[in-house]
Amino acid sequence: MAENMNIKLKVWRQAGPHTQGRFETYSVPDANPHMSFLELLDVLNEQLIKSGTDPVEFDHDCREGICGSCGVVVDGVAHGPQRRTACCQLHMRHYQDGDTIVVEPWRAEAFPIIKDLVVDRSAFDRIIAAGGYVSINAGSAQDANNLPIAKDKADLAMDYAACIGCGACVAACPNASASLFTAAKISHLAMLPQGSPERKKRVTAMVDQMAEEGFGDCSNHAECEAVCPKGISISSIATMRREYMKAMLS
Amino acid sequence: MSSKNPLRSPIGKKLVTGVTGLGLVVFVFIHMTGNLALFTGNEAYNQYTHFLTSLGGLLYVIEAGLVAFFLFHIVNGIQIWLGKRKARPVGYDTYKSAGSPSQQSASSRSMIITGLILAVFLVVHVISFKFGPGGPGNADPAYVTTIGGEEVRDLAKLVRENFASPFYTFGYTFVMLLLVVHLRHGIWSALQSLGAMRPSLTPLVYTIGAVVGVLIGAGFIALPLAIYFNLI
Ligand code: HEM
Ligand code: FES
């Protein structure tokens, strides 16, 4: 087919958490512009299986940009070159026949590699477990106007709630900081009446857990916002800092 | 409700770097405007420095505060840098910024380098001016002048002598350019660290940060160059 592309993939291979990894370069002659980036990896894996080689492990689930399972660094950018797009929604039409693409796992001490491109993101779960929830049963959905919430607040809370927990913010941050993830959750809950009563306890517990997990501190590079598939703003980080100061002073 | 040691937490460290950083910005701004007094003549400059030394006890308090600000700023800056190396022991083969809205720049990446050079400069600077000839513990009749019958230190003379040397003049100019680079990221970053940023203000604050940084740098650089090229 005329549209066929030959893509070279330079992929990080690592057999297990404690083994030495290395890059392997593979050619995928049957790529085409309609494929998603993960489909390209599927095609590569079929090739590898046929040739008796272990397929490349990578995380994925919904493949529609909503679950947060996928995530690799593509040519030096978390989730690849398309803004506000998880790598499952990146398509090969962004590439040319003959291109070489470098694929690496998220790199952070707090995200240890399990195999190949799969990292252990349970540090995020522990940050949430430290306080990223409302501890009472807030009941089922209320009558729309029972609990008035200003439109701008509701919108902002929704923007922050859009975090899918993929970890791209950590991967892209020069400091491997988890500030955007943690701040998105803290800001989202602080903005709504259900989350407000526990806001002080929540911000200190989650920030302490974030430090505990070995993420770096934030240097305000704002690289996280640029790679976030949901475009979550670093204004959430400013909000988290205000929340923290309020908690400190009480 | 607060954590065991709030100022050592990831957010506390940023509050400390931000508060001390902004404090130092205020200091360098005042210092810069003070220097400009030399443009109106040696006497105005010596009067200004004499006014500062005549503050006596208050000056010591201000100096102690400055030393504390510098130390806290430096210690936190170094800790954040060490922490980031621990947080990503294995780096990427290929890494690049995704571009706007990222604020990652040569300036944001080099804070530790520009900062450490500023720290070394600071020591040399204080030794050569404050504790230079005619300064505390270094009495020298050649650097005394009289203003209105009162004997005061002739710091203007020392400044002119030091900036007659190309090494000193261009070294100083270079370090002040690094200060501008430090502040290009530093000023807006400090506001973000203190939770003072709003998305609606972001472009404005970036601009103000850069402009204030450049003004401070330009003010510092003008004097040595003017002296070196015999313009004043
Ligand atoms: C001339 C005096 C200085 C001024 C006016 C100044 C100003 C600032 C400001 C405003 C910030 C932003 C704070 C923030 O992000 O919250 C900053 C950050 C920083 N400063 Fe300075 N600084 C000075 C000297 C130094 C020195 C001597 C060091 C020595 C190590 C240093 C190292 C740093 C570092 C590493 C950061 C970045 C911290 C981070 O990663 O978040 N600075 N500085
Ligand atoms: S696989 Fe679900 S977001 Fe990419």
Per cent of chain A over pLDDT 90 is: 92
Q: Sketch the domain layout of chain A as residue ranges.
A: 5-104, 122-249
Contacts of A102 in chain B (CB under 8 A): 93-94
Q: Is the residue at B129 inside a domain?
A: yes
Q: Is the residue at B1 inside a domain?
A: no
C-alpha to C-alpha distance for B90 and B94, rounded to whole angstroms:
12
**Is-same-fold flag (A5-104; A122-249)?**
no
Put simply, whether A130 touches B (Cβ < 8 Å) is: no
Number of domain units in chain B? 1
- Overall pTM > 0.90: yes
- pLDDT by residue (tens digit) across A72-87? 999 999 999 999 999 9
Rg, chain A, Cα only: 20
**DSSP labels for B82-102?**
HHHHHH-SS--SS-----TT-
Q: How far is the CA of B70 from the centre of ligand 1 (A)?
A: 9
B10·A242 Cβ contact <8 A: no
Question: What pLDDT is recorded for position A78?
Answer: 98
Average pLDDT over residues B185-189: 96
Structure tokens at A110: 């707090």
* Chain B nearest-CA residue for A113: B90
Biggest alpha carbon–alpha carbon distance for chain B? 69
Instruction: Say whether domain A122-249 belongs to CATH 3.40.250.10.
Output: no
C-alpha to C-alpha distance for A222 and B108, rounded to whole angstroms:
10
Per cent of chain A over pLDDT 70 is: 99
Place of tokens 């005394």: B144
According to CATH, the topology of domain A5-104 is: Ubiquitin-like (UB roll) (3.10.20)
Q: Is the residue at B124 inside a domain?
A: yes
Quick one: which ligand is closest to B80's CA? 1
C-alpha to C-alpha distance for B182 and A248, rounded to whole angstroms:
29
Average pLDDT over residues A186-191: 96
Structure tokens at A53: 């080689």
The range of the structural domain enclosing residue B177 comes to 6-90+99-228
Interface of B with A in 53-82 (CB under 8 A): 79-80
- pLDDT by residue (tens digit) across B72-116? 999 999 999 999 999 999 999 999 999 999 999 999 999 999 999
Whichever domain contains B44, its CATH number is 1.20.1300.10
Q: How confident is the model at residue A2 (pLDDT cuts 50, 70, 90)?
A: low
A67 Cβ partners below 8 Å, 6+ apart?
A61, A164
C-alpha to C-alpha distance for B129 and B156, rounded to whole angstroms:
10
Compute the Cα dihedral for A125, A106, B81, B31 and give only its sign: negative
Ligand 2 lining (C-beta closer than 6 Å): A 60-63, 65-70, 86, 88
Measure in Å the smallest separation between the Cα of B97 and chain A Cα atoms. Answer: 7
* Averaged confidence pLDDT in chain A: 96
Measure in Å the smallest separation between the Cα of A208 and chain B Cα atoms. Answer: 7
Put simply, whether A238 touches B (Cβ < 8 Å) is: yes
Of A31, A194, A190, A37, which is closest to residue A98 (Cα–Cα)? A31
Is the pLDDT score of A121 beyond 50?
A: yes
Put simply, whether A109 touches B (Cβ < 8 Å) is: yes
C-alpha to C-alpha distance for A41 and A62, rounded to whole angstroms:
15
Q: How confident is the model at residue B3 (pLDDT cuts 50, 70, 90)?
A: low
Put simply, whether B99 touches A (Cβ < 8 Å) is: yes
Interface of B with A in 181-200 (CB under 8 A): 185, 188-189, 192-199
